[in-house]
Structure 1
């Protein structure tokens, strides 16, 4: 899935969430670092939950992480 958004400092990004264990996102080093930083930690899938531990192959959890830490503008399958 292709995700477009902006970071808190206003920098735009566009990444592909791959669902691969070795490279969960491609296209932005900053987003890749964010995902690597939070791998193994719980992430809220929605505003009220449920909680799920972030794994690189879990595209739903990766997208939820991006929505929590960045302003996601568009998601395309």
Structure 2
């Protein structure tokens, strides 16, 4: 799945959420570092839940982290 968005400082990013264990996100080192930093932590999949532990292979949880920490503009 492709995700386009902006980071807190306004920098734009375009990444591919792969669902792979070794590289869950490709395309932006900053976004990849964010996902790696959040791995193993609980994340809400929606505003009210449910909650899951972030695993690199869980594309829904990775997308939820991006929505929580960045401004997601487009998901395709």
The normalised TM-score by structure 2 is 0.99
Task: State the match for 1:11 in structure 2.
Answer: 11
Give the aligned CA root-mean-square deviation in angstroms. 0.3
Q: Secondary structure of 2:36's partner? A: helix
Q: Secondary structure of 1:43's partner? A: strand
Distance in 1 separating the partners of 2:8 and 2:49: 23
Give unmatched runs, 5+ long, in structure 1. none
Deviation string, structure 1 residues 10-61 (Cα, Å, up to 9, x no partner):
0000000000000000000000000000000000000011110000000000
The normalised TM-score by structure 1 is 0.98
Following TM superposition, where does structure 1 have runs of at least 4 consecutive aligned residues deviating by more than 3 angstroms? none
Give unmatched runs, 5+ long, in structure 2. none
Task: State the match for 1:45 in structure 2.
Answer: 45
